[in-house]
Amino acid sequence: MITKIATAAIYVEDQQRSKAFWSEKAGFHIVRETPMGASGSWIEVAPFGAETALVIYPRSMMDNWSELKPSLVFDCEDIGATYETMKRNGVLFQGEPKTMQWGTYVAFVDEEGNSFLLKG
């Protein structure tokens, strides 16, 4: 029986720049970094205490990377505080947080142009 989602992948040109974004700007910690040869490493990052990690995978190792787009939503206990912290850390947001009947959300992009959503 499946018990959890282990990882979700994003495909990036520059793994080290992406690792810095997720660890320094988004506040994630590095779960694993294992070399996979000259083309890149297996790099997992995650929020502290999370059971699921984000794999920062090198595009150069995936022939069809352009067809594989992430669609990831991150939950927050306090979206306003998370938004302010990430913004102060240099994260580019696509507007201000918006409130709907189901909750508050705001989109942001990483340094590779991948779009993600925070919701609270």
Mean pLDDT (the chain) is 91
Q: Give the tens place of pLDDT for each residue, 50-65.
A: 999 999 999 888 888 8
Residue 70: is its pLDDT beyond 80? no
Q: Which CATH superfamily is domain 7-60+70-119 in?
A: 2,3-Dihydroxybiphenyl 1,2-Dioxygenase, domain 1 (3.10.180.10)
Sort residue 96 into left (φ over 0), alpha (ψ -120 to 50) or beta.
beta
Residue 76: is its pLDDT beyond 70? yes
Report the pLDDT value the prediction gives residue 74, as an integer from 0 to 100: 92
Report the pLDDT value the prediction gives residue 16, as an integer from 0 to 100: 95
Residues 100, 35: Cα–Cα separation, whole Å: 43
Q: Give the tens place of pLDDT for each residue, 19-40.
A: 999 999 999 999 999 998 888 9
